[in-house]
A and B are shown apart, each in its own frame.
Chain A
Amino acid sequence: MRFMMIVIPRAYQTAAPDAKPKLEDFARMMEFNKSLEKAGVLLAMDGLTPPSAGARISFNDGKATVTDGPFTEAKEVFGGYWIIQVHSREEAIEWAKRAPMSNGDTIEVRQVQGLADFPADVQDLLAKRYEALKKETAARA
């Protein structure tokens, strides 16, 4: 089972575009990352620059509108993520509890969707596409 642990750091709501992590926070984070690696559960991770350096693209009536950061109305902004492979939802939560976070920070734990989780009509679509591919392969052979 794969889970994404999404970091929602409180300080990121107001962080300057060029804000950099403090050395000691960075060191603690490296240690946590290492523990994920040593346990063999870490698949991927990334940290994001502050939202004030980003942009939001919102969609209304088929039209895309771009807003540059900072997003003053946003209460929760992303700071980064880990993707881990674990045995259960509870194990993902236990790993999240061990992350070195600051006061007011949040980690959201969400399972990565697998093919089997898609609804029947989506699976039908995939199966049809696969049948077409098979015919194409047979024609080429």
Chain B
Amino acid sequence: MSDIHRTIEAVWKIESTRLIAGIARVTRDIGIAEELAQDALIAALEQWPEQGIPENPAAWLMTAAKRRAIDNLRRGRMLELKHGEITRDLEFQQQQLSHALDDALDQVIDDDVLRLIFTACHPVLAVEARIALTLRLICGLTTAEIARAFLVPEKTLGQRIFRAKRTLSEAHVPFETPRGDELRRRLDSVLSVVYLIFNEGYTATSGDEWMRAALCDEALRLGRMLVELLPAESEIHGLLALMELQASRTAARRGRNGEAILLPEQDRSLWDYAQIQRGISALEHAQQLGGGAGNYTLQAVIAACHARARTSADTDWERIVLLYDALLQISPSPIVALNRAVAVGMAHGPSAGLDALNSPTTLDGLTPESALTGYHLLHSVRGDLLMKLRRYTEARQEIERAIALTQNSREQKLLHEKVEQIQKLERGA
């Protein structure tokens, strides 16, 4: 790619969200808005290499999009206008459209961006479609980049986005920010999309490193945007805090040969303390707003307990157990219960940890044992606890079971090392 193309791409990354949001205010259809914005991008790619980057690229792009919208109107393509009755008078319609887009250009309001986010994360769409649309429309990633991040063919991803836009259109999803209770429910969807993007980058074990880091960055960027747009929503601050605190450990999570390094063994001097500070400050915001008991906020409090501990041994495990208890109250899940059992093992000893694996902690009375049979982490957790109890034969069997249950080669390697460690202890015992 030439320098000018990289520059145009950078301008696009900065301007596209507000451009699409501004046009969508007029067209009321994010599919059409995105097409018009894309047309403007194509015009820029054609003209800027010769004419140079304009003084005000945002205004240039909006003007190009406007020209295209009027062309479309002339060719008889319907655009649903916000203002004005539908008139047969083409001239009048053109004028209306032109004015509306001029207004949109003058002042892309924050609400437009918020509407765009809520529409891209609308529950009428499948979760994968929400993720793809969000990365495309709000983060300004290309279809190729998103496809690379999710290891799907570019064509598949393109179709996913195309179908998502059609679904929104066909379902007549209004371009608006929900209010009241509806806002809370819809915000849940937005936040889960952001956290899924983050986790895809943070925990995925395949795909290229650069793209995964980019997904974490994009999720963090979305979190910071949302905090600006809806500053009074505590769970947004909580989610941002959680992501900052988790991302702060990135440099310590991989050894030099790419092997995974788990939290207790991480070199804590490699953590990003500026990022931890940002996470803790976001957490304080969430708590000041009364969000202490929210799902993301509670998870962030747990992450902050780890971030504050200078060594693994200094961790306040008893507090973490209580936090997991609270988390189980609001979002009962066997995974949370499994994490709680690990914390119990650290706080009250391995035997208490084993008991916790068998105690019903979720609403439906399932224990981590019964709900997670066949899940490799259950077996590796149990293997760990058994090892600490010096029940080496059982411990080794559990870890071997975990190895058989995971496809992930990095995790397998880690587990094989654990087996060797147990064998050594067995011989020594």
Are A87 and B13 in contact, with the CB atoms below 8 A? Answer: yes
Contacts of A86 in B (CB 8 A): 13
Interface stretch, picked from A23-31, A36-44, A61-69, is A36-44
Are B224 and A37 in contact, with the CB atoms below 8 A? Answer: yes
- CB of B221 closer than 8 Å to a CB of A: yes
Interface string of B266-304 (1 = CB under 8 A from A): 010110001000100000000000000000000000000
Interface pairs (10), CB distance under 8 Å:
A38-B110, A40-B221, A43-B278, A88-B10, A91-B14, A94-B10, A126-B270, A130-B255, A137-B265, A141-B313
- CB of A127 closer than 8 Å to a CB of B: yes
Interface string of A116-127 (1 = CB under 8 A from B): 000000010011
- The interface size of chain A toward B, counting residues with CB under 8 Å, comes to 30
- CB of B123 closer than 8 Å to a CB of A: no
Contacts of A43 in B (CB 8 A): 274, 278
Minimum CB–CB distance from A10 to chain B (whole Å) comes to 22
Contacts of A133 in B (CB 8 A): 267
Residue of A nearest to B275 (CB): A43
CA distance A137 to B269 in the complex (A): 14
Q: CB < 8 Å: which of B13, B251, B264 contacts A137?
A: B264
Are A137 and B311 in contact, with the CB atoms below 8 A? Answer: yes
Assuming A39-B225, A93-B7, what are 4 further A-B pairs, CB within 8 angstroms?
A41-B224, A88-B6, A129-B269, A137-B313
- CB of B128 closer than 8 Å to a CB of A: no
Minimum CB–CB distance from A40 to chain B (whole Å) comes to 4
Minimum CB–CB distance from A129 to chain B (whole Å) comes to 7
Q: Considering the complex of A and B, which 9 residue pairs feature the smallest CB-CB distances, nearest first?
A: A40-B224, A90-B10, A40-B221, A40-B225, A91-B10, A130-B267, A94-B10, A90-B6, A115-B251
Chain B interfacial positions (CB closer than 8 Å to A) = 3, 6-7, 9-11, 13-14, 17, 110, 113, 214, 217, 220-225, 228-229, 251, 255-256, 264-265, 267, 269-270, 274, 278, 311-313
Are A137 and B220 in contact, with the CB atoms below 8 A? Answer: no
- CB of A56 closer than 8 Å to a CB of B: no
CA distance A80 to B225 in the complex (A): 24
Residue of B nearest to A44 (CB): B274
CA distance A1 to B270 in the complex (A): 17
Are A40 and B222 in contact, with the CB atoms below 8 A? Answer: yes
Minimum CB–CB distance from A39 to chain B (whole Å) comes to 7
Minimum CB–CB distance from B10 to chain A (whole Å) comes to 4
CA distance A91 to B264 in the complex (A): 37
Are A39 and B6 in contact, with the CB atoms below 8 A? Answer: no
Are B224 and A87 in contact, with the CB atoms below 8 A? Answer: no
CA distance A123 to B110 in the complex (A): 44
CA distance A137 to B315 in the complex (A): 13
Contacts of A104 in B (CB 8 A): none
| Interface residue ranges of A1-46 to B (CB < 8 Å) | 1, 37-44
Q: CB < 8 Å: which of B10, B220, B265 contacts A134?
A: B265
